[in-house]
Structure 1
Amino acid sequence: MDSIDPPSSIIKSAFEEIFSFSEKAFGEKFGFLSVEFQGRTKIAENKITGVWFNQSFTSEKDRFHVVFFNTQTLNDKGEIENCHNCQPDISEATYQFTPSGWKLVSKKLNFDTFGSWGYAPDIKVAETMQLSPRITVFMVPFSYSIQGDTDSGVGLFEFKNNDWRYIGYIHLEYSTEGSCNCYAYSGTLSKIAGSNPEYPDLLVTVKGTVMDFDADKIVPAKNITYRFDGTKYKSKDDVGIYNLPTL
């Protein structure tokens, strides 16, 4: 039996499985990138890609290893497209450990987008949560600022039946330190019973203050409950008081 640790060649294998060509073949076709794009590969005239992060995990007692890639768009000057809503495309290749070694069980090109200002967040290892016996979720920390306000939380990437999908963003902190410095809150995430046993409700227990935009005043922050709508986790509590964007 092979070692349970994934081989060093798994990243190269994942790249070729997802993009159908080797890094060398892309380089010969589109040109090799300069040092500033070290670790990235040009896969189209206006697209570059590279490993976002990769890690081993256990789901339903089986051992897996996933390699995520993030693909960025280049502008006419050859620079990474940089805007608040510019989000890299996310792709994955997932391998399962079997008696005969590591076997590819999933690959998805550009299954969703995540990030801001042209970049996915830096991450080495994602914290995992078992939503239910068949569902493992990667919680990817993300923080961004606009007009002096900073929002932080986690993006939820679901692994179920050897398939990945993005199922929503959970807001955990908000700060106005860079603008009015007039309110801020922070929260902790936990699972609570809901109507869907496979997708339990998610509760953010909050401390701090927020702006009630309807009443135009600062009020104590309230806990936020997220419910799965069949596609993503969303919360009605975000509307009005929290005024938070959807990722």
Structure 2
Amino acid sequence: MRKATLAIALCLGMATNAYAKAQYRLEIRPTNGQVENWQNGMQSVDDPRLGSTVRVVSSQDALPDKQSTFRIIVLNRSDKPVAFGPENITIEYAKGKTVQIATHEELVGKLRRDIKRRQALAVLGGALSAGGANGYTSGSFNYSGITNSGGYVSGSGTYSGYDPALAQQQQLAAQRQSLAVAQAINGRQLSGSQALESVVRRTTIPSGGLMGGVVAYTPPSAFNKLSSNDLVTIVVTVGAEKHIVTARVSKIR
């Protein structure tokens, strides 16, 4: 049963490394012509241009793989439709180095692989639990006493055998454990899929239309070395226009 418990614990804690990822929040620094807003504790900055307006929102959204995030809203003010997606967003830091934005397809693929690993471990844990539910019991005992003739005896012994009641208890426990793991995996898959629905995907924005969503990225380790005076640059390209928003990144975990 110890092996079964270990397998199931691994299954439930598969994302330990993901949970340990450093996450960062944007502290946006508006420049000339940009408009800062606050709503429900979230900061946003609008960068208006002739053909488009981009709003960057400092937020932290819960995604399955614990990426750092912010939100973006794009208004197409031109007279033509424009295609926009995560490939039109970059984060620049430290003299031209860039952070790539994760696509919806990449994040869905990560979630799918994570669920498959968890399911495989659940099968292993279920098999180990079933194998351990055999009703086998064993132990040792000590004895001592006085004989009819007044002598003193003592000693020890061992016992082993099959206990049908114990077997039934073990089988029920294994079934409950397997069911709990299956429910946890299904819950993670459902909540993860729902969270990823908000991630920015390539979309054609009609004239006068807008689109928005969550932007996800994995911060490089170099972010740990940025000082409070070091700023990153968010570059958002809409058609022929480039929107530049500067921010400081601060670790939140």
Task: Report TM bin, short chain.
Answer: under 0.3
More helix by share: 2
Structure label with greater radius of gyration: 2
Tell me which protein shows more strand as a share of its residues.
1
What TM-score, normalized by structure 2, do the two folds share?
Answer: 0.25
Greater relative contact order structure (CA < 8 Å, 6+ sep): 2
TM-score (normalizing by structure 1): 0.26
